[in-house]
Amino acid sequence: MQSEKYSQYVDIMVPLFRALQNYRLGNLVDSYQAFEKSANAFIQEFRNWDSAWALDALHVVAYEIRVLAERADRELGAIGKNPEKLKGAGSFLMKVFGVLAGKGPKRVGALYVTCQLFKIYFKLGTVHLCRSVIRSIETARIFDFEEFPIRDKVTYMYYTGRLEVFNENFPAADHKLSYALTHCNSRSEANIRMILKYLIPVKLSIGMIPKNSLLEKYNLTEYSNIVLALKRGDLRLLRHALREHEDRFLRSGVYLVLEKLELQVYQRLVKKIYIIQKQKDPNKAHQIKLEVIVKALKWLEMDMDVDEVECIMSILIYKNLVKGYFAHKSKVAVLSKQDPFPKLNGKPVGS
Amino acid sequence: MINSCLCPLVIRGEDKGPEHSRIGGHKPTNRLEIFCVTVKFCQRFRMATEQPKVATEEAKIDLFEDDDEFEEFEIDQEWEDKEEGTDITQQWEDDWDDDDVTDDFSLQLRRELEDNTDKK
């Protein structure tokens, strides 16, 4: 009876110490395997305990298994083998999530485990796997989002916000990333920077620009010229800025989002032409000859003929960035006398 | 190292426990407390015996990476979630799209456009 009572702890502890020993010796794959065994034994017991007393330990296990798996995969990769331990850690954590997804007090740990899963899926590039756990958190009636600790909510909103950016769902991305930004510990500068890195392209897409002081404070000056290009209507500067930091924008996945700002920059340029014309001759200002735009674009080192400019103007009108119509024969854009350049007002282009 | 692990847990066992450990109303036995502490000990052991050489191997291996992995907050970390955030939320401008054409770019644009009409 006595040995039976404590045998479950033996199953947890022995492999745990083996994991530590292997770790110290630098055998990361062996270390991971032993740890996984210990973690599985731990979960077997954990699910039987009614209270949430061991949630702290669970947090440690969830974190350690991921970090160990990453190191083990590096070792596997170095010896030419298939790195599959991180994937395995992901499976384990899904199991843990299932254990926590109940009505009891343990459920407040579920968001932390979710965030560890996000880190794994983002690292492996299998972000589509996030969907099922997001659905459980957001739509299953077990969880009340407000119950979770703030640190987990911030991390969760950061990752789900990034997913919304990839899906070009800008209003949702704005909501989530802004939440993360507002509630993040103000001393966590690295995390704030990461949130801003994704939030800035989103804000630009809905017509809001960051102050330069913000970009400087968090070392995000790769966005400075983009912001300036948008303010000026300077298409040449936009193209230059995209090219200059192309690698960085591609790696973070925001390149396409920034590239699409081109339409808004066109709008700003045409608006400036309109204002300049209006100052010269207020009566004729609402008619813009296409060849005037062609000349402006040429100055910005963009060689376009009248037909191409006509195409751009049509798109601007279609997407409600310009109000007016097109007199095709005379090659003139006739702008609405009222609010010819509607502002985005927090909504993405064309919505 | 063991003392520093034991002490926080012993203190926690009394009044200042994290809420979720107390929700069920179950007070852990001494042996279970020790178990929890041991797990924490293992984490600190791992961190203390960090393998620096792993870093150099990283460069050679073409594994997936996420450049923007969020940093872990401390497990017990709570911060003042007041409107400290308002400072950062006031860093956005939505009134930049004004009618001002006195900046250098606009002046150059005007010159370009005037130049063309003259050439006619």
CB A153 within 8 A of CB A183: yes
Which chain B residues touch A186 with a CB distance below 8 Å? Answer: 79, 84-85, 87-88
Q: Which uninterrupted H or E stretch holds A164?
A: helix A150-166
C-alpha torsion angle, residues A46, A49, A51, A57 (rounded to 10): -30
Q: Which of B69, B70, B105 sits opposite A234 (nearest CB)?
A: B105
Phi, psi (deg, nearest 5) at residue B23: -60, -45
Which chain A residues touch B93 with a CB distance below 8 Å? Answer: 208-211
* Mean predicted confidence (pLDDT) in A64-80: 94
Phi, psi (deg, nearest 5) at residue B117: -65, -30
Which chain B residues touch A159 with a CB distance below 8 Å? Answer: 70
The CA distances from residue B107 to A125, A231, A299, B19, B111, in Å, are 48, 14, 13, 63, 6
What are the domain boundaries of chain A? 2-259, 263-335
pLDDT band at A55 (very low <50, low <70, confident <90, very high): very high
Q: B93: which strand partners?
A: A209
The beta-carbon contacts of B72-79 under 8 Å, at least 24 apart in sequence, are B72/A63, B73/A151, B73/A154, B73/A155, B73/A185, B73/A188, B74/A151, B75/A56, B75/A59, B75/A60, B76/B18, B77/A151, B77/A185, B78/A149, B78/A150, B78/A151, B79/A150, B79/A185, B79/A186, B79/A187
pLDDT band at A285 (very low <50, low <70, confident <90, very high): confident
Which chain A residues touch B102 with a CB distance below 8 Å? Answer: none
| A223: DSSP letter | G
Q: A332: which strand partners?
A: A289, A327
SS3 A208: coil
Q: From CA A342, how far away is CA A316, in angstroms rounded? A: 11
Q: A327: which strand partners?
A: A332
SS3 A283: coil
Interface probe with A: pick from B1, B9, B68, most Cβ of A within 10 Å: B68
pLDDT band at A119 (very low <50, low <70, confident <90, very high): very high
Asked if B47 has any chain A CB less than 8 Å from its own CB, the reply is no
Smallest Cα distance from B116 to chain A, Å:
8
Asked if B75 has any chain A CB less than 8 Å from its own CB, the reply is yes
Residue A191 burial (CB < 10 Å; 0-12/13-18/19+)? Answer: buried
Residue A55 identity (one-letter amino acid): L
Among residues A227, A157, A223, A222, which one has the least CA distance to residue A192? A157
Contact B112 A181 (CB under 8 A): no
Interface probe with A: pick from B70, B109, B116, most Cβ of A within 10 Å: B70
ipTM: 0.85
DSSP class per residue in B41-53: HHHHHHHHT--TH
| A140: DSSP letter | S
Q: Look-up: residue for tokens 């923007």?
A: B68
pLDDT at residue B85, as a whole number? 52
pLDDT at residue A5, as a whole number? 64
Point out the least confidently predicted range of A18-32, A115-129, A279-293, B63-77: B63-77
Asked if A16 has any chain B CB less than 8 Å from its own CB, the reply is yes
* Mean predicted confidence (pLDDT) in A275-282: 92
Q: From CA A350, how far away is CA A19, in angstroms rounded? A: 56
Among residues B6, B18, B51, B66, which one has the least CA distance to residue A58? B18
Contact A182 B71 (CB under 8 A): no
- Paired tokens of B90: 């006031």
Q: Which CATH class is domain A2-259?
A: mainly alpha
The pLDDT of residue A247 is above 70 = yes
> Which CATH number is associated with domain A263-335?
1.10.10.10
Q: What is the mean pLDDT of chain A?
A: 93
Q: pLDDT for A137-154, tens place per residue? A: 998 788 899 999 999 999
The pLDDT of residue B119 is above 60 = no
Q: Look-up: residue for tokens 């009248």?
A: A306
pLDDT band at B54 (very low <50, low <70, confident <90, very high): very low
Q: A325: which strand partners?
A: A334
SS3 A126: coil
pLDDT at residue A102, as a whole number? 82
Q: What is the mean pLDDT of chain B?
A: 64
Which of 134-173 (A) contact B at CB < 8 A?
149-151, 154-155, 158-159, 162
DSSP class per residue in B59-110: HH------TTPPPPPPTT-----SGGGHHHHTTEES--------SHHHHHHH
